[in-house]
């Protein structure tokens, strides 16, 4: 049978359509960057072989992991958890006012909204490691720098999602309370926030997971927690010690993700 | 006491002239139904009445207070006496029925939300809320979430919330347009019962002629942003009423058939 059957009235859409000139431009630029990047990584068989050899040396020295410093590792891991929990809690609490000021339907004035949105965007755009570097300079080495970095990172992430949700809330109920003579703050707290709670808890849980992962790495730049131990061990070529730290991190992060997905199922 | 006087009211949305030198007076205790085709400006008029929209010129006087110039606390104190019933009920769906009824008193006190939040509200407020719920025969659903109720039930809860406000004037914008006919009649019966019990003034838009004739003391017809018909219910003749739906009914000039279902009910609005 002939597949190119003539349609009765109008044309059947072709199987393939040619992308627009803009799509072509994007494809060409992307391809250029990809191949350029690939060649700048200077991948050669020789390097791959050497890399594999180094990796097996690392593993050879890392196994068996050295558990003799378990108390130090446990303490550092605990510090990491504290950093994450304090940072993410403060961050989420602060995200609510930030989100309210940044949303079209709750901001007191368009200028306030623009400024708040800009602040949130800045907090989000600058990576947490860079915040940590800045805060290490500002408040010195240690967990405080990490906590501050996590706070900003959490606001940048959570306030944006909170705000998107707030702007989606149906205006009707809030209008109804406004029409009954209620004040603006009462209306926002009473009619708008309750409609966003489910989505806010989901975002908050995700922020916790994100904060724990980032608390681990923040130590690498000296902002407290287990990352400090890890980077020290690596720099001193104590790969067996480093390996035990990596295992602990892995277990804790997996444990937390498990816990958080359990909570999510309960709540949502 | 609770009368409404509208004089020479003009409202524009950008270039669109919606309310066109509109005049209307409603006496205290009167039950007035406003009829008119889609897009003729009924909802806009309703929103001007409680200051959710500001007209460009003209005056709306409710109990000696001019709504169009009132701002801030004065506007809020005018709104306190005006209960509104909406087509979409506008309950906070995530909360319980009881909490939504308590919200009716939110504008009545200085503490706002703090004095009407279920866990914090004083005993007499909670008792009054329960009483209002019983009045609309929804007391058994006090602890349900609003989103689990049918449309008719939600509208009854909205009426309880409105009662909680103890208003003198009721504005109802298409209160039964989202309900099936049976639930619609139940809600209209209930609304008119409570209105009569408390001697309230009602201004209600409808689009069914027969409903209007069953409930209204007086029927007012609107066409293209103006009041073109006004008579007591008993003397309203079908022919002039039918005129309301013919010819240029809309304010935006679009043909009324094409836009029958494009009414802007879900346009996001700022909180005033
Ligand atoms: N917020 C708004 N912004 C712009 N135009 C609006 C707005 N609200 C209503 N309109 C327009 O005003 C006209 C009258 O609308 P409306 O008062 O809702 O009519 P009705 O309730 O009689 O159906 C319509 O053409 C509508 O598109
Ligand atoms: Mg309408």
Q: Are B175 and B88 in contact (CB under 8 A)?
A: no
Atom of ligand 1 nearest to the CA of B36: 22
Contacts of B83 in chain A (CB under 8 A): 180
Distance of CA A120 to the CA centre of its chain: 14
Distance CA A144, CA A167 (A): 34
- DSSP lists the bridge partners of residue B235 as none
The reported pLDDT for the residue numbered A220 is: 86
Whole-model pTM: value is 0.82
Judged by its nearest atom, the ligand closest to the C-alpha of residue B267 is 1
HEC sequence for B197-224: HCCCEEEEEECCHHHHHHHCCEEEEEEC
- C-alpha closest to that of B76 among A185, A192, A109: A185
B119 in contact with chain A, both atoms CB, cutoff 8 A? no
CA distance B168 to chain A (A): 12
Residue B43, ligand 1, Cβ within 6 A = yes
pLDDT at position B255 is: 65
Best of B11, B41, B45 for a ligand 1 pocket test (most atoms within 8 Å of beta carbon):
B41
User: Is B71 an 8 Å CB contact of chain A?
Assistant: no
Choose which residue among B39, B173, B259 to substitute to test ligand 1 binding: the one with the highest number of ligand atoms within 8 A of its C-beta: B39
CB-CB under 8 Å, A104 with B112: no
Say whether residue A51 is in contact with chain B using an 8 A CB cutoff. Answer: no
Q: Which CATH number fits domain A72-267: 1.10.3720.10, 2.60.40.1180, 3.30.360.10, 3.10.580.10?
A: 1.10.3720.10
Q: Under a CB-based contact definition with an 8 Å cutoff, are residues A158 and A92 in contact?
A: yes
Residue B262's pLDDT is 39
Query: Does A64 sit behind a cis peptide bond, omega within 30 degrees of 0 on the bond before it?
Result: yes
Domain boundaries, chain A: 72-267
Cβ–ligand 1 distance for B251 under 6 Å, the answer: yes
Q: Going by CA atoms, what residue is nearest to atom 6 of ligand 1? A: B13
Within chain B, which residues score under 50 in pLDDT? 258-272
Q: Do A186 and B52 touch (CB under 8 A)?
A: no
CB of B47 closer than 6 angstroms to any ligand 1 atom: no
B84 and A CB contact within 8 Å: yes
Tell me if chain A has a CB within 8 Å of the CB of B209.
Answer: no
Residues of A in contact with B88 (CB under 8 A): 172
Is the CB–ligand 1 distance for residue B39 below 6 Å?
yes
When computed from its CA atoms, the radius of gyration of chain A, rounded to whole angstroms, is: 26
Query: Is the Cβ–Cβ distance between B89 and B154 less than 8 Å?
Result: yes
Q: Report pLDDT for B60.
A: 95
Please, what is the Cα angle at B197 between B195 and B198, to 5 degrees? 70
- Residues around ligand 2, an ion, CB closer than 5 A: B 43
Query: Are residues A106 and B271, on separate chains, in Cβ contact within 8 Å?
Result: yes
Q: Note whether A194 contacts B272, CB cutoff 8 Å.
A: no
Element (H, E) at B171: strand B169-173
A104 touches chain B (CB under 8 A): yes
Whether the CB of A107 is below 8 Å from some CB of chain B: the reply is: no
pLDDT in tens, chain A (268 residues): 455 555 556 888 888 877 788 888 999 999 999 999 888 888 788 888 888 888 888 888 878 888 888 888 888 899 999 999 999 999 999 999 999 999 999 999 999 999 999 999 999 999 999 999 999 999 988 889 999 999 999 999 999 999 999 999 999 999 999 999 999 999 999 999 999 998 899 899 999 989 998 998 998 888 888 888 888 888 888 888 889 999 999 999 899 889 888 888 887 6
Classify the phi-psi angles of A222: left when phi > 0, otherwise alpha if psi is within -120 to 50, otherwise beta. left
Are B76 and A190 inside 8 Å of each other by CB?
Answer: no
Please name the residue of chain A whose CA is at the shortest distance from the CA of residue B50.
A179
- The residue count for chain B: 272
Tell the CATH topology of B2-256: Rossmann fold (3.40.50)
CB contact under 8 A, B113 and A194: no
Distance from CA of B238 to the nearest CA of A (A): 34
């Amino acid at each position: 049978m002939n597949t190119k059957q003539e349609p009765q009235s109008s044309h059947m859409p072709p199987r393939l359509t040619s992308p627009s000139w803009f799509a072509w431009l994007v494809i060409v630029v992307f391809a250029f960057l990809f191949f350029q990047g690939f060649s700048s990584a200077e991948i050669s068989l020789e390097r791959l072989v050497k890399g594999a050899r180094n990796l097996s040396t690392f593993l050879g020295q890392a196994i068996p992991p050295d558990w003799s410093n378990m108390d130090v590792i446990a303490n550092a891991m605990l510090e990491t958890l504290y950093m994450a929990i304090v940072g993410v809690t403060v961050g989420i609490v602060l995200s609510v006012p930030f989100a309210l000021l940044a949303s079209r339907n709750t901001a007191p004035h368009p200028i306030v909204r623009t400024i708040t949105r800009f602040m949130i965007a800045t907090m989000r755009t600058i990576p947490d490691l860079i915040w940590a570097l800045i805060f290490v300079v500002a408040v010195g080495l240690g967990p405080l720098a990490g906590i501050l970095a996590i706070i900003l990172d959490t606001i940048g992430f959570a306030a944006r999602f909170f705000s998107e949700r707030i702007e989606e809330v149906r205006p009707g109920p809030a209008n109804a309370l406004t029409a009954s003579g209620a004040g603006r703050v009462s209306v926002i707290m009473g009619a708008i926030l309750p409609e966003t709670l489910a989505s806010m808890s989901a975002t908050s849980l995700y922020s916790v997971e994100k904060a724990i992962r980032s608390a681990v790495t923040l130590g690498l730049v000296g902002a407290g927690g287990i990352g400090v131990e890890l980077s020290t061990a690596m720099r001193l070529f104590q790969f067996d010690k480093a390996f035990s730290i990596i295992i602990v991190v892995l277990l804790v992060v997996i444990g937390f993700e498990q816990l958080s997905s359990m909570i999510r199922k309960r709540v949502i | 006491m609770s009368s409404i006087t509208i004089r020479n009211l003009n409202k524009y949305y950008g270039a669109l002239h919606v309310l066109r030198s509109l005049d209307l007076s409603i006496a205290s205790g009167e039950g007035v139904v406003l009829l008119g085709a889609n897009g003729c400006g009924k909802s806009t008029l309703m929103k001007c009445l409680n200051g959710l929209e500001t007209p460009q010129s003209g005056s709306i006087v409710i109990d000696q207070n001019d709504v169009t110039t009132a701002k801030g606390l004065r506007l809020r104190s005018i709104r306190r006496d005006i209960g509104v019933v909406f087509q979409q009920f506008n309950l906070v769906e995530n909360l319980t029925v009881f909490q939504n009824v308590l919200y009716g008193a939110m504008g009545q006190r200085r503490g706002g939300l703090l004095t009407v939040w279920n866990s914090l509200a004083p005993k007499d407020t909670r008792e009054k809320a329960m009483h209002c719920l019983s009045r609309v025969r929804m007391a058994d659903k006090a602890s349900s979430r609003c989103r689990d109720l049918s449309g008719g039930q939600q509208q009854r809860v909205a009426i309880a919330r409105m009662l909680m406000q103890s208003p003198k004037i009721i504005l109802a914008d298409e209160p039964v347009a989202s309900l099936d006919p049976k639930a619609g009649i139940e809600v209209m019966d209930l609304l008119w019962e409570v209105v009569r019990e408390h001697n309230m003034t009602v201004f209600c838009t409808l689009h069914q002629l027969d409903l209007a004739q069953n409930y209204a003391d007086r029927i007012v017809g609107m066409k293209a942003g103006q009041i073109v018909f006004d008579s007591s219910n008993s003397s309203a003749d079908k022919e002039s009423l039918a005129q309301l739906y013919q010819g240029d009914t809309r304010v935006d000039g679009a043909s009324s058939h094409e836009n029958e279902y494009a009414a802007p009910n879900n346009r996001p609005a700022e909180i005033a």
